[in-house]
Amino acid sequence: MTTPWDDFNQTFQAMNLFRNRMNTIFNDFDQLSNFNQSWLVGETLPRTSLSDTGDNLEIFVEVPGFAKEDLNVKIQGNYLEIRGTRKAKIPDGYLVHRVERENLSFSRSLTLPHDINANRVEAALKDGILRMVMPKSEAAKPKQISIG
Amino acid sequence: MSESTELMSRTDNPPKLADQLPTLIPEVDIFENDDEILLYADMPGVTKDSLSIKIDNGKLLLSGIRRFPASGAFAWKEFTNAEFRRVFSVPQTIDFEKVNAQMKDGVLCLHLPKSESAKPKQIEIKVG
């Protein structure tokens, strides 16, 4: 037997389902960007990820085929600029079947969420990923407040 | 025929770790000369150890997995852990014993030498 109360519950259940779906939709969206990158603005830009580890900001940049001489990084305050040029290498005497790796030079500038102490930035290039550990400037670091 | 056996072998041996990762298609350059086919593939973040190259039944499978140590809270994330995966058809004339692969700066360089019998031959014309 169905009472009006059951109808009421059912409606709420449906709404809950919808809410859960909405909660995960942004994760799905993030993943989608990996499958189909074509809608991203400026496809030649290298993709980056930025992580906040408390004292530091860490940035990861996809730069396959770039040697460290090919990359140029500038930081000022919370402004970060990465430039890179990769040499085209079509080998001599070869017939070309397919060339997809065309993005030979790029420039990307980013506004970071915090000011950076540019003197203590560490940058490392490994397996085509540039990783930079950027210490936040003193004013931007989290502080422990003792209650007196 | 070959398609169905491939499906079968996949269910026998599911790549468990790779199953959960999003799959990316690596961008490639392919060149050829008389001696070999040369392939470059961008696979940023893939190490030598996590890369597998399989040649079977005229199919070349490239598969590389990248993983980043999770740390901190991400302000934005334009790329993640992923599997780079792409299948190519390769001619049977490749000398599979001599295939040579190098991984440098996240770029795979794969040399696929042609077997002796497949190389073009210069035929000398004798004056009789």
Rg (CA), chain B: 19
Is A145 inside a domain boundary? no
Do A105 and A131 fall within a single domain? yes
The answer on A104 and A61 residing in a single domain is yes
Cβ atoms within 10 Å, residue A51: 20
What band does A37 get if pLDDT is binned at 50, 70 and 90?
A: very low
Q: Which residues of A touch B22 (CB under 8 A)?
A: 31, 34-35
| Confidence label for A29 from pLDDT (cuts 50, 70 and 90) | low
Whether the predicted pLDDT of B41 surpasses 90: yes
Residues A9 and A71 in one domain: no
Predicted local distance difference test score (pLDDT) of residue B28: 92
Is-contact B84 B24, C-beta < 8 A?
yes
Q: Residue B116's pLDDT is what?
A: 82
Q: Does residue A111 share a domain with residue A60?
A: yes
* Domain range enclosing A68: 39-140
Statement to judge: residues A20 and A43 lie in one domain: no
Q: Does A80 touch chain B (CB under 8 A)?
A: no
What is the model's pTM? 0.69
Number of H helices, E strands in chain A: 1, 8
Tell me: pLDDT of B4 over 80.
Answer: no
**Same domain as A126, residue A77:** yes
pLDDT reported for residue B111: 93
Both A72 and A103 in one domain: the answer is yes
Asked if B28 and A98 come within 8 Å (Cβ–Cβ), the reply is yes
Residue A75 has pLDDT above 60, yes or no: yes
- Rounded to the nearest integer, the mean pLDDT of chain B is 82
pLDDT (tens digit per residue) in B62-113: 999 988 877 788 888 888 888 999 999 988 888 888 899 999 889 999 999 9
Same-domain pairing of A29 and A92: no
CATH number at residue A84: 2.60.40.790
- Put simply, whether A35 touches B (Cβ < 8 Å) is yes
In the prediction, which pLDDT does A130 show? 93
pLDDT of residue B126: 86
Residue B48 neighbours by CB under 8 Å, 6+ apart: B103
Other Cβ atoms less than 10 A from the Cβ of A74: the count is 11
ipTM for the predicted complex comes to 0.71
pLDDT in the model for residue B43: 92
Query: How does pLDDT run across A91-132, given as a tens digit for each residue?
Result: 888 888 888 887 678 888 889 988 888 888 999 999 999 999
The answer to whether the CB of B41 falls within 8 A of the CB of B26 is yes
Total domain count, chain A: 2
Taking CA–CA distances from A112, the nearest residue in chain B reads B75
More confident residue, A95 or A87: A95
Token duo for residue B123: 């035929």
Closest CA to A104 of A89, A123, A125: A89
Please indicate, yes or no, if residue A146 is contained in any of the structural domains: no
Q: Is A31 in CB contact (< 8 Å) with chain B?
A: yes
- In this structure, are A10 and A52 located in the same domain? no
What is the rounded average pLDDT for all residues in chain A? 80
B78 part of contact set with chain A, CB < 8 Å: yes
